[in-house]
Amino acid sequence: MILYGLMEEPLLAPSLLSADFSDMRSALALIEAAGADWVHFDVMDGRFVPNLTFGPKMAADLKPHTRLPLDVHLMTVEPERLVPAFAAAGADYLSFHLEACVHAHRLVETIRSSGAKPGIAIVPSTPASLLAELLPLVDLVLVMTVDPGQGGQHLILSCLEKCAALAAQRAERGLSFLISLDGGINAETIPLASRAGADVLVMGSAFFSADDPAAALRKARDAFKAARR
């Protein structure tokens, strides 16, 4: 299937979730030196998911140490309570889960008016069709390809069909949101992600456990482009 509007190059977004939390500044420097496009910042609250990670102060403290866009992924209940602080901390993309918010339309508008680019995220059990009304309003759709909460899991293949459906919707409706795939993205799954129409690839363990993270990103880019030809 040829999909209109696909990017030739992926945006590669290593996730700080897989970094050494005692040395985040070095992790950020590694991400930048390795040639990444974005920095993915996973916020977990111990409620939407069992795990706990970072608050807005971590984002604000890291922000001056990178030129790359900060891609904040809120895996939290009541995301509206955290949006102002993360926008103020310098989030460039600010995504929250549809499953965690009744008034998603309002929150998208709030994020945009706070100066960040709004993103909407869905877990594997949420159909892409539930995003129909939001697609014209967001800059990013984050399709979780694992159940959220931790790194190092296997990609759930059926989530790629949602990615393809979203890419088709985008083309049909003339929209321009980016599609990000998050979870289990690695050398084996990147060709599948590329063929499904993804734009942004979040890489946690595949980046930080690589012997040579720069080479891992080069290979990711090449594999993405090869699968798209």
Structure tokens at 129: 């069709």
Q: Catalytic pick from 42, 45, 71, 92? A: 42
Q: What is the DSSP string of 129-171?
A: GGGTTTTTT-SEEEEESS-TT-SSPPP-THHHHHHHHHHHHHH
CA distances from 2 to 6, 155, 206 (A): 9, 23, 28
Residue 42 annotated in active site: yes
Q: Measured from the CB atom, is 39 or 185 closer to ligand DX5?
A: 185
Euclidean distance between the first and final Cα of the chain, in Å?
11
Structure tokens at 123: 């877990």
Work out which of 10, 11, 18, 189 binds ligand DX5, going by CB under 6 A.
18
Burial class (CB in 10 A: 0-12, 13-18, 19+), 69: middle
205 binds, among Zn ion, ligand DX5, none (CB under 5 to 8 A by kind): ligand DX5
213 binds ligand DX5 (CB under 6 A): no
203 binds ligand DX5 (CB under 6 A): yes
Placement of tokens 């929209």 in the chain? 175
11 binds, among ligand DX5, Zn ion, none (CB under 5 to 8 A by kind): none
User: Please, what is the minimum distance in Å from the beta carbon of residue 149 to ligand DX5?
Assistant: 5
Work out which of 10, 15, 53, 128 binds ligand DX5, going by CB under 6 A.
15
Burial class (CB in 10 A: 0-12, 13-18, 19+), 172: exposed
Cα angle 92, 97, 100; round to 5: 130
Centre a 10 Å sphere on the Cβ of residue 122 and count the other Cβ atoms it contains. 20
- Site map 130..169 versus ligand DX5, x via CB under 6 A: ----------------x-xx-xxx----------------
73 binds ligand DX5 (CB under 6 A): yes
Determine the angle formed by the axes of helices 213-228 and 24-33, rounding to 10 degrees: 50
Q: Measured from the CB atom, is 39 or 111 closer to ligand DX5?
A: 39
Work out which of 184, 190, 196, 199 binds ligand DX5, going by CB under 6 A.
184
Residue 139 annotated in active site: no
Q: Catalytic pick from 37, 92, 139, 182? A: 182
Stretch 177-206 residues interacting with Zn ion (CB under 5 A): 182
Binding site for ligand DX5 (CB under 6 A): 15, 17-18, 40, 42, 73, 146, 148-149, 151-153, 182-185, 202-206
Binding site for Zn ion (CB under 5 A): 42, 73, 182
Active-site residue set: 42, 182
